[in-house]
Amino acid sequence: MNGTRIIIPEVRRVIDFPLKVGESPTWDDRTGDLWLVDILAPAAIRLRADGRVDRFDMPVKIGCLALCESDDVAVALENGVHLMNPRTGALKLFCDPDDGRPDSRLNDGKVGPDGCFWIGTRDEAIPQTGNARLYRVMPDGSFATIIEGNMMTSNGLAWSPDGRTMYHSDSSGLFAQVFDFDPETGATGAPRRLHDFTPEEGRPDGAAMDADGFYWIAGQQGSRLNRLSPEGGVIEAYMMPAKGPSMPCFGGPDLGTIYVTTLSTDNNGVFEHGTVLAFETGIRGTPVHRFAI
């Protein structure tokens, strides 16, 4: 906490309907739409630039989504990665890297500078056993396991503006780490611990990267977004009017608006529905990569 600047931004609510577990906000720079998922609904949701809302109900839990070069949307479901037609909602199985492993489901994911869809899993065992993984899904449908073992909830994926550092967190392990990254080949170096989170800072959840190279990560159950320097210090904490912020993303025409999904939770004895929040800080984000299919 030493040296952390506490900021209370002017936050507005973006939607007027409740979410169970809001996650994976993703700005579409081609259309001005904001995509997100509700993991337990389960559904993918599009907030159109003109105010309309499209809801695509899913057959099983959805962990995250990614925009594709083809304008399809890749959705990471409990039973594999599917391609969704955003006009019809039709789903087509693309691949299933987790292959029905027990006590596991696809969770947080994001497209990297290499054009691949990086997707982590959550260990669903009670208590957790450390079986979470991180997969790299290639545009041809093949995939590779990047992290295996000693991880409980893969989360927090983001890349530095130059694409040479990959950020990642373990929400249940309460830490963030970084990897050297080759944006051409997707090769990663050995992990380096970036930050261990205190209860006050919250559980490290979904994340985004700003244009200055600072890592924004949701402080789940801490009512905040933590802005970390490349060296790992929490330089700023943006306080949210919700206990359970789950993931930020940058959007708007100049990537100057921060959107934050939240989940339903108990807030000091009062039940709080999940929602989508937005605010501005004068800080811009980095463009979202698209799955190269």
Biggest distance spanned by C-alpha atoms of the chain: 51
Cα(269)–Cα(281) distance, rounded to whole angstroms? Answer: 31
Angle at CA of residue 222, ends 170 and 228, nearest 5° = 60
Tokens of 162: 């130059």
Residue of 72, 108, 205, 210 marked catalytic: 205
Q: In terms of Cα–Cα distance, which of 236, 238, 253, 243 is closest to 275? A: 243
Distances in whole angstroms, Cα of residue 13 to Cα of each of 10, 41, 74, 85: 10, 20, 26, 28
Among this protein's residues, is 205 annotated catalytic? yes
Residues involved in catalysis: 205
